[in-house]
Structure 1
Amino acid sequence: MKRILITLAVVLLTAAGGGAWYLHSKQPARQGELALQHLSEPVLVRYDERGVPHIEAQNEADMYRALGFVQAQDRLFQMEMLRRLARGELAEILGAKLLPTDRLFRTLQIRERADQQARELAPDSPHGKALAAYLDGINQYQDSRPAPLEFDLLGIEKRPFTPADTLSIAGYLAYSFAAALRSEPLLTRIRNELGADYLTIFDIDWHPEAVIDTALGNDDWRTLDRLAALSRDALVDSGMPQFEGSNAWAISGARTANGKPLLAGDPHIRFSVPSVWYEAHLKYPGFELYGHHQPATPVAFLGHNRDFAWTLTMFQNDDMDLIAERSNPDNPEQVWYKGGWVDLQQRQEIIRVKDGEPVTLLLRRSPHGPIINDALGDNGGATPIAMWWTFLQTENPLLEAFYRLNRANTLEKGRAAAERIHAPGLNLVWANAGGDIAWWAAAKLPIRPTGVNPAFILDGSSEAADKLGFYPFSANPQEENPPRGYIVSANFQPLAASGIEIPGYYNPPERGQRLNQHLADPEVRWDLHNSQALQLETGTAYGPQLLAPILDELRAAAANEQERALVESLAAWSGDHPLESVPAILFNQLTYELSRATLAPRLGAQAFEQLLSTRMIDSALPRLTADPQSPWWTRANGQARSRAEAVAEAWRATVLHLQKTLGEDTTKWQWGQAHTLTHQHPLGVQWPLDMLLNVGPQAAPGGHETPNNLSHRIGAAPWPVGYGPSTRRLVDLADASTSLGINPVGQSGVPFDRHYSDQARRFIDGEYVPQHLSAEDVSANTRSTLTLQPAP
């Protein structure tokens, strides 16, 4: 027995030692010297207390090559997953369960468009050279260092990163904004099957011109339902970042405490591990930037230095139309276009499947765009549905745009960079130390024929589905140095001085209104401290406005003294979502129950789930409660039901569910008990990897469409947070070295690295950390130094 125990102990110690050595071999090298091919001079990389690299090179090519190398150290698996998602190659490493996602992304033709853009990329252009050096750094890391843990778990073989990979990822980012696949079929179906009266709560003008009415059959609607679900699930289940919304503001020196502009930004993106942004401080003679980078992309999408700073929000413009084509009854591979039958273009692609046979995918394209039914194969329905998308129709020099923006220290340079952003549509909020502030809505906006409402599926056999060109950039919404002294952007519908209408998937206005309410106060002089408080605010007027028309009906529905007290807490509620709030719990459950009682019976379960995944539901609910005559209050079988009766049903369901979920004692209910944030790794969907790779859960303040937009989907308690601030940044251009930020998780994407989740607690607690810029601060906060030497 003694020998057995000794032997067992030796085996366990050996296994533990081997495991520790294995995990240690996967950690980033942040100290010492490493040789790198193609460097012309040594590059110094100093890592600060958060693991952010401060890269100092003697020329631009060396700087970008070093950035590629060190970013790959921390984020190679993220880069790999994102390029595979964008290019429809996940099934090759994850198996047949990812085939639907791959089919969808192949059908979107991101891969084909990126390959074309890569062939057209000028290798001698400044941005082309930067990309080549950066990708060389990534590939040298792959060639010389151990593969990430996830590569070993999944059996991923290393392969070089190419310009087409970078451009494919840009295409995925553009697609993650688009809501057409989820919203346009739903609105068309409501209009066709229920009638125009049911569209009122969505505030969408019904223009019957140039839209299909009854051309789609039941098989087609089922196809569109499946496509909508596939689009939603592909974004959610991949564990990759999905852009959702954002806050941003720029304040001129006339409104700040020190007389210089201040910039604030917190782009709202789906939470994941690792987080979306990779921070890096880049420097060579004549250039310096503290930037936030996307995977496999050399240029910063957010950034600042001593001279200027910028941030982004999502424009939310509608740059994608779904078009029902008219098929030739004698030849289903032809559609009617401009007075005659034309052949659909066809090509085949092969999807490789792990532990399975390759799948051949037939992809078709009409003159309007790719036929998205092909994502469903043989279940694609009878009517070809084409997708017109700005990303596929414009030059879209996104890499050049951000290369220029990384150097845009004047209004003229900022405006010129913004003009080169075609898709996705972005609000670019910018400021410089010279005193200028600006906002440019950057996108190529299509000119649609008069009377066409792109909120609905369009008729491909008419001219209404065609585009008449694009508006010039000068017609886009934009402001430079407005007299009020500040600019705020929060995904609400913008107005263009040119007067053009800009259809889109805009968020409700209350979040922007709350920000504007504070920024408009002439008595406030803004600084880093009160700007933090504004970014962390957890309430808006949305909830009280939705509740106000139905408070008396809620009072009548209360069954006892305890419930009456709960209703009165709602009546007195300001819309705030702190961790200890009870009204926040009641409100969020009640909005779901109201939706379920009124919208779900008419729409059906699948369409109702689709609606909950769109921004339309947020705008619809306040209009619903404000209209006691809305047809949605009646029962699905036509039986009369008043608003008061529906509200009473929703209230009873709310109380019952919360008591069952949170306990009978309502005094112990707290928002943080039911509203939590877990950062999920792409492989953290199953045990035991969830315990090893995920970060959380953590009780989360804020909520859906509050400034501190730790947002959850409308649904039944408990509410997992889905997306929110992907970083919070504050840049004071009086002294940019005092800028503040925070990463939702950590700088590193390497499991078990000390910087994998070292900021998660501070993020949820609303803390900020310095973003070191000055040489003195960088030196004082350096924790390790890596020198990259030219290889002999």
Structure 2
Amino acid sequence: MMLIFRWLLRLFSGLVVLGLLALMFSYYFLSRSLPDYSEDFALPGITAPVEIVRNNANVPHIFGANDADVFYALGFAHAQDRLWQMTMLRRTAQGRLSEVFGERTVKIDELLRRFDIYNLAIRSLDAQDAATRTALEAYANGVNAWIGQVNADARGRGAPEFFLFSNEIAVWQPADSLAIIKLMALQLSSHLESEVLRARMSLLLPDTRLRDILPDDPGTGVTTLPDYASLVPGVRPSFEPLRMAEDPLSPFHRRAFAGASNSWAAAPTRSAAGGTLLANDPHLGFTAPTLWYLARLELQSGGVIGATIPGMPVVLAGRSEDLGWALTSSYLDDQDLYIEEVNPANTEEYRTPDGWKAFETRRSIITVKDAEPVTITLRWTDNGPVLPGSHYDLASVTPPGHVASLAWTAFSPADTSMTSAMRLMAAKTTDQAIAAGELFVAPSQNLMLADRGGIAFQMIGQMPARDAAHQSQGRLPSPGWIAANRWQGTLPYTDNPRVQAPETGILGNTNNKTVDRPFPQHVSFDWGDTQRIQRWLGLMKTREVHTRESFIEAQLDTVSVMARGLLPLIAADLWFTGEAAPDGTPERLRQRALEILAEWNGEMNEHLPEPLITMAWLRAVQDRLIRDELGPMADEFTHVEPVFIDRVFRNTDGAAVWCDIIQSSPVETCTEIARLALDDALLALTERYGPNIESWRWGDAHQATHDHPVLGEVPLLRYFVNIRQSTSGGDDTLMRGRTKGSLPDPFLNVHGGGYRGVYDFADPDSSVFISATGQSGHPLSRYYDNLGELWRRGEYIPMSLDPELARAAAVGITRLSPE
């Protein structure tokens, strides 16, 4: 027996030693790709010495003799820290994910090939001005210089992910940067999905009830739309939920995540220090690392600092010495879906206003890892590419003998958005910035501006020119062969919404409705916010003058106007009614929940139970209201729709009819639905978090999910690469933390302000910014998540253009010199 024990002990000890050795070897090889920020390089393609000074937060400050060398160095720095992320963005835009991930991503690649955004990016290269092409080429040379160093010196294949997946890194091309802009446009556009959803819902509901569940922004005057079945005969109602890729690698986001952001500005007359103020927090899906990369560039036109996206040589949101610029999603309706009739006598033709016309057709081969290649046929019409019925569930709105095509401003083969962004960095005044915005095509954005003397607002991006006689006004798929439905070019830039030198001295946007103009100058019928703007207006009105700190306070505000408005409606007949129920009963739990909600101020604080109870209750209310009418299609509404619930409980246009369960004989009231929904919510929360209601925490459910899109799902590895943080805020707070919406964890925080910046032109170097994770994409780097805790706590780091401040506590200075 002792002999067996000894051998087992020896075996165990040997396994431990082997495990430790394996860990040591793994760490050695993986850490080889960690860059040394104090290393010097002699490189081809650079004309004069350049310094990359990384401050104590690892934000690179780049100093060079000319702009081309500065962009070269930015490409080098991006590649040092985010090479895997950059190559993944490029592969996604090219529709080549399946070469690495196999059959899992074939559907994603197929749709991206049909959009053809990479070839459109290549064609757009010639449309850029000379300075932009020079910058793109220099940036690409810088990226390739680091790739060359990786290949020459065995630097761990450039990133740990390349050990697990393909380590073949193609050279970076100028068009790759243009393709990433188009990829961003894809992630920020939702009107295609909205058109499909509205068409399907119109087949299930009468017009009055459709306006309840898909309401227009309050105040919008919209004439009744045609019935979709009469607009496109032959379609049949479908109760199947809309299908879209939920893969973390997919760039196709549901309409709930199509884009959101905040920005606000104050003129000198409304600033305590007498200088303009500007705040911005653009919202995108959370990843590890975050999509944003902080950087400072010393250009010939002056220093610029702010948020870049690895793969593009521009500061997208930031400031110079004289100008600050901020971005929010404009929600411009820049997509129209068309139903194209196929010639029954020749399926290679489709109907146009002038008769039958041949599709533009070509083949595309998708290479699939460990599987046979997939060949698809790409077809284009005058309106845009033909999309298969299997995507966006287009088959449910496309009658037999027809196909669907998409018109979209991002399909422009002469997209000068990059040139516009380059000119914006060189602008000194709001007038110059507005002029630079004219060349921007897609994705459409609201540009908030502040120079040393004033503030301005300008929507950038091309607006489609629609005929006033358009059958669906772009809100439903429409017949593509009717001339009035087709686009007639784009509207002049002067039609884009613009505000300069407002009398109030304050400008702001939370993706709210910006204009109230009739179709077709309307911008959009669908907007991204009806709630946050109310809280912002309240905060701005409380002060005669504002400071950097008051702008930060607004940026970090977690009070939910939605909760404050809806709770009194749904709980009006439940609060303080009846005798106290015995402890331990469902009735007592309900009474206790109502008691604490009655004393709550609507703050979505991570340490409180009230936000969790409220959100679970509202979800349950909405589900009970719509489940019997919509069946499985109710799963399409993954988030609380505050305007819908408000309409129902106020009985606007008879909307209280939603409270009656159509399958039951009694007529249920809205109060009964609210009570039953509260019991549903409390039962689910008790099962998840225990019976002690006071111990429930919103932050336990509302964790920010900065997950690695590839390694984040790998057992064991996910604990090292995913960054999870308890967070405050919610779907409708200024510090927005958009919840996942889908089970089993509907309240996870998956979408929000991964970058925050506040710029004060009374003292520009007192400006601050922060990103949600860290600068490095390497999980073994101490800069992988070093900014994350600051971001979670609502703290910032200095945003200074002072070179001495950057050098004072530099973590390293990289010097690049001509080979």
- 1:710 is aligned to 737
CA distance in 2, matches of 1:173, 1:504: 22
**Alpha-carbon contact 2:46-2:818 (below 8 Å) kept:** yes
SS in 1 for 2:347: strand
Q: Residue 660 of structure 1 aligns with which residue?
A: 687
Question: Does 2:210 correspond to 1:199?
Answer: yes
Q: 1:87 aligns with which of 78, 82, 94?
A: 94
Q: Residue 186 of structure 2: SS of its match in structure 1?
A: helix
User: How far, CA to CA, are the matches of 2:483 and 2:12 in structure 1?
Assistant: 82
Distance 2:187 2:674 in 1: 35
- Deviation (angstroms), 1:265: 0.6
1: distance between equivalents of 2:205 and 2:494?
Answer: 40
Residue 443 of structure 1, CA deviation: 1.9
Q: How does 1:435-514 map to 2 (within 5 A)?
A: 435-450=453-468, 452-495=472-515, 500-514=521-535
- What secondary structure sits across from 1:624 in the alignment? helix
CA contact (8 A) 2:241 2:635 kept: no
Report if the CA contact (8 A) 1:121-1:128 is conserved.
Answer: no
Q: Are 1:418 and 2:437 counterparts?
A: yes
Q: 2:601 aligns with which of 574, 581, 585?
A: 574
- Which is worse superposed, 365-374 or 212-221? 212-221
CA distance in 2, matches of 1:323, 1:220: 18
Contact 2:319 2:759 in 1 (8 A): yes
Question: What's 1:20 paired with?
Answer: 27
1:213 aligned partner: 230
Please give the secondary structure, in 2, of the residue aligned with 1:575.
Answer: coil
Aligned partner of 1:531 among 551, 568, 576? 551
For residues 615 and 163 of structure 2, the distance between their equivalents in structure 1, rounded to whole angstroms, comes to 42
Q: Is the 8 A contact 1:306 1:735 kept in 2?
A: no
Question: CA contact under 8 A between 1:182 and 1:610: conserved in structure 2?
Answer: no
Question: Secondary structure at the residue paired with 1:785?
Answer: strand
Q: 1:406-457 CA deviation, whole Å, 9 max, x = no partner?
A: 0111122111111111211101111112x12111011211222225332222
Which residue in 1 is equivalent to 2:280?
A: 265
Question: Would you say the 8 A contact 2:625–2:659 is kept in 1?
Answer: yes
Give the Cα separation in 2 of the matches to 1:264 and 1:242.
22
Q: Partner letter of residue 501 of structure 1? A: H
**Offset of 1:772 from its aligned partner?**
3.2
Map of 1:432 onto structure 2:
451
Paired residue for 1:353? 368
CA distance in structure 2 between the aligned counterparts of 1:427 and 1:467, rounded to whole angstroms = 23
AA aligned to 2:647 is: R
- In structure 2, the CA distance between the partners of 1:584 and 1:236, relative to structure 1 (3 Å rule), is farther
From 590, 595, 609, the equivalent of 2:622 is 595
Aligned residue in 2 for 1:163: 174
Match of 1:625 among 649, 658, 662: 649
CA distance in structure 2 between the aligned counterparts of 1:632 and 1:373, rounded to whole angstroms: 35
Q: Find 2:774's aligned residue among 741, 746, 751.
A: 746
For residues 312-461 of structure 1, what are the structure 2 equivalents within 5 Å? 312-373=327-388, 382=400, 383-393=402-412, 395-433=414-452, 435-450=453-468, 452-461=472-481
The answer (yes or no) to whether the contact 1:553–1:647 under 8 Å persists in 2 is no
- The residue aligned with 1:302 is 317
Distance verdict in 2 for CA 1:721–1:377, change over 3 Å? closer
Normalised to the residue count of structure 2, the TM-score between the two structures is 0.89
| CA RMSD between the two structures | 2.8
1:399: Cα distance to partner? 0.6
Which 10-residue stretch deviates more, 745-754 or 176-185?
176-185
Q: Which moved more, 1:279-288 or 1:631-640?
A: 631-640
Q: Compute the displacement of 1:200 (Å).
A: 2.0
The separation in 2 between residues aligned to 1:220 and 1:149, in whole angstroms, is 49
Q: What is the CA distance between 1:769 and its match in structure 2?
A: 1.3
Match of 1:179 in 2: 190
| Aligned counterparts of 1:101 and 1:337: Cα–Cα separation in 2 | 30
Correspondence 1:786 to 2:814: yes
Deviations 1:585-616 (A, max 9, x none): 121011211221122332232x3233327xx9
Matched, 1:700 2:727: yes
Distance 1:764 1:217 in 2: 52
C-alpha distance in 2 between matches for 1:642 and 1:358: 57
**Secondary structure of 1:730's aligned partner:** strand
CA distance in 2 between partners of 1:266 and 1:487 (Å): 15
**Whole-angstrom CA distance in 1 between matches of 2:251 and 2:386:** 23
**Structure 1 residues 143, 375: CA separation in 2 closer, same or farther (over 3 Å shift)?**
farther
Residue 542, structure 1, aligned to residue 562, structure 2: yes
1:37 to 40, 44, 47: 44
CA pair 21-719 structure 1, distance change in 2 beyond 3 A: same
1:107–1:370 Cα contact (<8 Å) kept: yes
Distance 2:11 2:173 in 1: 54
From the superposition, tell whether residues 552 and 715 of structure 1 become closer, same or farther in structure 2 (CA, over 3 Å): farther
Tell me how far apart the structure 1 counterparts of residues 782 and 165 of structure 2 sit (CA, whole Å): 23
Partner of 1:726: 754
Following the alignment from structure 2 to structure 1, what is the Cα–Cα distance between the partners of residues 629 and 117? 36
Q: Is the CA contact 1:31–1:785 (under 8 Å) kept in the aligned structure 2?
A: yes
Asked if 1 retains the 8 angstrom alpha-carbon contact of 2:183 and 2:251, the reply is no
Report the CA distance shift for 1:345/1:108 in structure 2 as closer, same or farther (over 3 A).
same
CA distance in structure 2 between the partners assigned to 1:345 and 1:673 by the alignment: 53
TM-superposed CA distance for 1:676, in Å, is 1.1
CA spacing shift, 1:752–1:420, aligned 2, 3 Å: same
Query: Per the alignment, in what secondary structure is the counterpart of residue 438 of structure 1?
Result: strand
Structure 1 position 492, deviation (Å): 0.3
Q: TM-score, normalised by structure 1?
A: 0.92
* Cross-structure match for 1:762: 790
Contact 2:333 2:524 in 1 (8 A): yes
**Which of 589, 608, 624 lines up with 2:634 in the alignment?**
608
> Retained in 2: the 8 A contact 1:266–1:728?
yes
Q: 1:664 to 1:271 in 2, by over 3 A?
A: same
1:212 positional shift? 5.0
The answer to which of 441-450 and 247-256 deviates more is 441-450
Instruction: Report if the CA contact (8 A) 1:243-1:270 is conserved.
Output: no
Give the deviation of 1:12 after TM superposition.
Answer: 5.2
In percent, how many aligned pairs have the same letter?
28
Distance 2:179 2:233 in 1: 33
Aligned counterparts of 1:134 and 1:545: Cα–Cα separation in 2: 50
The equivalent residue for 1:521 is 542
Paired residues of 1:508 and 1:618 also in contact (CA < 8 A): no
Q: 1: CA distance between counterparts of 2:369 and 2:18? A: 34
Aligned length: 780
Which residue of 66, 80, 84 maps to 1:73? 80
Contact 2:127 2:414 in 1 (8 A): no
State the AA in 2 paired with 1:62: D
In structure 2, what is the Cα distance between the partners aligned to 1:740 and 1:348?
A: 50
Amino acid at match of 1:609: D
Please list every run of 5 or more consecutive structure 1 residues that lacks an aligned counterpart in the other structure: none
Q: Which amino acid is the alignment partner of residue 446 of structure 1?
A: P
Alignment partners' CA distance in 2, 1:21 and 1:74: 18
* 8 Å contact kept, 1:476–1:496: no
Task: Give the drift of 1:393.
Answer: 4.1
Distance 1:394 1:445, change over 3 A: farther
Measured in 1, the distance between the counterparts of 2:529 and 2:650 equals 16
Distance 1:611 1:115 in 2: 38
Rounded Cα–Cα distance in structure 1 between residues aligned with 2:10 and 2:486? 82
2:141 to 127, 132, 136: 136
| Cα distance in structure 2, aligned partners of 1:233 and 1:73 | 24
Conservation of the 8 A alpha-carbon contact between 2:248 and 2:709 = no
Separation in structure 2 between the aligned mates of residue 552 and residue 467 of structure 1, nearest angstrom: 49
Corresponding residue for residue 671 of structure 1: 698
Query: Quick one: distance in 1 between partners of 2:647 and 2:183?
Result: 33
Q: Quick one: structure 1 residues 311 and 377, their matched pair in 2 at CA, closer, same or farther if it must change by over 3 Å? A: closer
Q: Contact (CA 8 Å) 1:186, 1:611: kept in 2 or not?
A: no
SS in structure 2 opposite 1:719? coil
Aligned AA (1:505): D
Distance in 2 (alpha carbons) for counterparts of 1:244 and 1:379 = 22
